[in-house]
Structure 1
Amino acid sequence: MHLLEIFYLLLAAQVLGWVFKTLKQPVVIGEVLAGVLMGPAILGWVHQGEVLNFLAELGAIFLLFMVGLETRLKDILAVGKEAFLVAVLGVAFPFVGGYLYGGAIGFEQLPALFLGTALVATSVGITARVLQELGVLSRPYSRIILGAAVIDDVLGLIVLAVVGGVAQTGALEIATAVRITVISAIFVGVAMALVPLMRHLPLERLPMGSPLGFALMVGVGLAALAAVIGLAPIVGAFLAGMLLAEVREKYELERPSFAVQAFLSPIFFAMVGVRLELAALAQSQVLLYGSVVLLIALAGKLIGGFLGALSQGFRRAVVVGVGMAPRGEVGLIVAALGLAAGAVNEEEYALVLFMVVGTTLLAPLFLRPVIAWAERESNSERKRA
């Protein structure tokens, strides 16, 4: 039965992906809509389950592992200041906007805090797929987005820890936030410190089946370690890919890794569609309030990303802002935690669902033309030089 469901997802993802590619639109949108089509919302041929959820998680891990393989640490460090600013501003603006709007429409303080928290985290997998598809992962604005996404995840986790502490105990859990900050900083710092060692590591002499086997082990291992300390597994996968980027040409890691990603990542995006509860979005109040939450979510990341990356130029700063806009499973997890704790009700949860669906579908649509717009300016600059 699981094999049949995987076949349905892959078939629909390939067909709709091809349709969107033919229409010169991001393939990822077709893959998400494939999940909506095959899932409970329409045909009901595919349902959530442990096997499919696990394959979807692996798809996200291998997508970010591949993105990391095309990103060297020195390139990220070269835009480190901008990435940090983009992450901080891109967390602050949506959080404050969501909190204030929640209060304005009658939410109690705790549901308003959860609404702001749900708007914080970026789903970099969606943006990374579009950047990869357009072949612009080496551009400085792409590195800013990827670097900011790592910092963004840590900041989002800290905000969630604080708000979650308020929900459970009624008090700020400063100690928990500090602990998460320190552990996350150590994890990212150690991964970056290993880069010089990786350059001189003779993979062919290690007691491993092959350099590729070692690379996949590192990717999955760091993803698992990230999950253990509370970060998104894709952060660990991205850092693992960045480590191995130092030896990617020497050991031919990209091509076979891409083959694995090409199988798994469409399942990840299709499962995003399968999980969407479209019936919850049909209520008029959800459509009205949700549209405003969606605008706050888009504007918060756009303004934060734009201001943080303005040193790169106007058009490239717009690309960064749009690239940081997609939300994904993290926003839903935050809302689900609030629902489980009794801090938010079903209607408040539906607003977050509406925002996640909207940013998931709209951000890739806007990202492609703004990248083309920025690339035209870059080409003109190169010609003048």
Structure 2
Amino acid sequence: MTRVVPLLALVSGSALAASSSGTANLLFSLFWVVLAASVFGMIASKLGVPAVVGQVLAGILIGPSLLNLARPDEFLLSLAELGAVFLLFMVGLETRFRDLLAVGKEALLVAVLGIVIPLALGFGFGLFQGQGNVSALFVGTALVATSVGITAKVLQEMGVLDARFAQVILGAAVIDDILGLTLLAVVSGLGAGESMGAAQVALILGLSVGFVALVLAVGIPLIHRFQPRLQNLSLARMFNVAIVVGLGVAALSTVAGLAPIIGAFLAGMVLAEVKDEVEFESKVHALEAFLAPIFFVVVGLQLDLSVLGTPTVIVAGLILTVLAVIGKVVGGLLGARSMGGQQALLVGVGMVPRGEVGLIVASLGLGAGIINGNVYAEVLLMVLLTTVLAPLALRVLARRAGPEAIAAKA
């Protein structure tokens, strides 16, 4: 018995040491991510560059491709997704549903054209390279994707979320997500050898559209009904209510086949109806200010620069980037032409970043064996360039457009 006790102590000590080591690794990874986000975000802002650009570049620097101080493991990926959820929740809080309705026609046109044109360009480029139909469709689908989180953060930094062009971008991004995820489900099914009929596609689309309509149709009247009770809650309790609503709707959106960020955005819009009468926004903003930069750094962590090893891949990736930009900009110019050339161009450029959405599409294609390593690398380069360059271009164009164009409300 006397020998068993030391043995148990040794085993327990080893387990504790292993657990402590795992916790230490998680904390050091988080430390480097938060430090890099803070430093590079501040430097970017000082240089007049959107903070998100600095944060994405910070992720590349500390990631596996260069310094290898942090890796995009399950912990950081989950935390990053939570950051994206709260970013879009905060953006929703600054967006009134009636403002989106005012730009509904333009948003729908921008979204549809921003899917059809890039899809056709990407599919055509894939066929030109000698890829099969399904592989080329995956390339087209990667070009369809829009990372609303990146553009939304830039618009938030600029303080123009209530501008007409910004409302069109946000509205188009929601529609883009619904149609884009439906397309991804169809293309993934084709890649797996499944036959997907029109009825299945209609069901996927119907569930997504129905969820959005249900949240807004039920949520907005309900929040107005409970407004008097909410006004009697303390700041801390109202903050808890807001977080529960945001997380709950974000979780439910995944059941409907949508990204959780869309549910969070919708929840924010519902709560925006009472934010002027009920105080809680400042606390939500504090939480978002901590989590959202983690999301952008992790986007950078996921970009593996080692795959960009050959001139052929780089040239093809640059061509794909040009096609990606053309597809969204032309979609914006045509879809929002009623707003005038300057604002329509802002809309098109705002839809350009692919970010984490493009990475997800490319990873799915590579994992399923539908696209090869070279095609994956080309898409990766396109994602990197559109993610970094589009926010810069958006800010420059906004300055050139002048305060009158920016101040135009929905």
Give the TM-score normalised by structure 1.
0.95
Q: 1:171 to 1:313 in 2, by over 3 A?
A: same
1:119 alignment partner, one of 127, 143, 147? 143
Q: Contact conserved, 1:39 with 1:274, CA < 8 A, in 2?
A: yes
Tell me which residue corresponds to 2:8: none
Tell me which residue corresponds to 1:262: 289
How many Å apart are 1:226 and its aligned residue? 1.1
Tell me which residue corresponds to 2:186: 162
Tell me which residue corresponds to 1:74: 98
The reply on whether 1:15 has 2:42 as its aligned counterpart is: no
Query: What are the superposed Cα offsets for residues 116-152 of structure 1, whole Å, 9 maximum, x if unpaired?
Result: 1111110000000000000000001111000100000
Higher mean alpha-carbon deviation, 173-182 vs 312-321, is at: 173-182
Task: Give the letter aligned to residue 371 of structure 1.
Answer: A
Higher mean alpha-carbon deviation, 133-142 vs 37-46, is at: 37-46
Distance in 2 of aligned mates of 1:8 and 1:128 = 25
Query: What are the superposed Cα offsets for residues 14-72 of structure 1, whole Å, 9 maximum, x if unpaired?
Result: 11111111110111011111111111111111112222111111110010000000000
The reply on whether 1:247 has 2:271 as its aligned counterpart is: no
Distance in 2 of aligned mates of 1:381 and 1:94 = 28
Stretches of structure 2 lacking an aligned partner (at least 5 in a row): 1-24
Task: Give the letter aligned to residue 171 of structure 1.
Answer: S
Q: Contact conserved, 1:119 with 1:297, CA < 8 A, in 2?
A: yes
Q: 1:348 to 1:379 in 2, by over 3 A?
A: closer
Q: Contact conserved, 1:208 with 1:214, CA < 8 A, in 2?
A: no
> Please, what is the CA RMSD of the aligned residues?
1.9
Tell me which residue corresponds to 1:277: 304
Tell me which residue corresponds to 1:52: 76
Distance in 1 of aligned mates of 2:39 and 2:279 = 30
1:92 alignment partner, one of 95, 112, 116? 116
Tell me which residue corresponds to 2:358: 331
How many Å apart are 1:200 and its aligned residue? 2.7
Distance in 1 of aligned mates of 2:183 and 2:65 = 32
Distance in 2 of aligned mates of 1:103 and 1:381 = 42
The reply on whether 1:137 has 2:164 as its aligned counterpart is: no
Query: What are the superposed Cα offsets for residues 315-356 of structure 1, whole Å, 9 maximum, x if unpaired?
Result: 000000000000022222222222222211111111111111
Larger radius of gyration: 2
2:405 alignment partner, one of 366, 371, 378? 378
The reply on whether 1:196 has 2:221 as its aligned counterpart is: yes
> What does 1:170-181 align with in structure 2 at a 5 Å threshold?
171-181=195-205
Taking only the aligned residue pairs, the percentage that are identical comes to 51
How many Å apart are 1:108 and its aligned residue? 1.4
Stretches of structure 1 lacking an aligned partner (at least 5 in a row): none
Q: Contact conserved, 1:95 with 1:119, CA < 8 A, in 2?
A: yes
Q: Contact conserved, 1:68 with 1:237, CA < 8 A, in 2?
A: yes
Q: 1:176 to 1:331 in 2, by over 3 A?
A: farther
Tell me which residue corresponds to 2:57: 33
Count, aligned residues? 382
The reply on whether 1:83 has 2:139 as its aligned counterpart is: no
Distance in 1 of aligned mates of 2:86 and 2:378 = 30
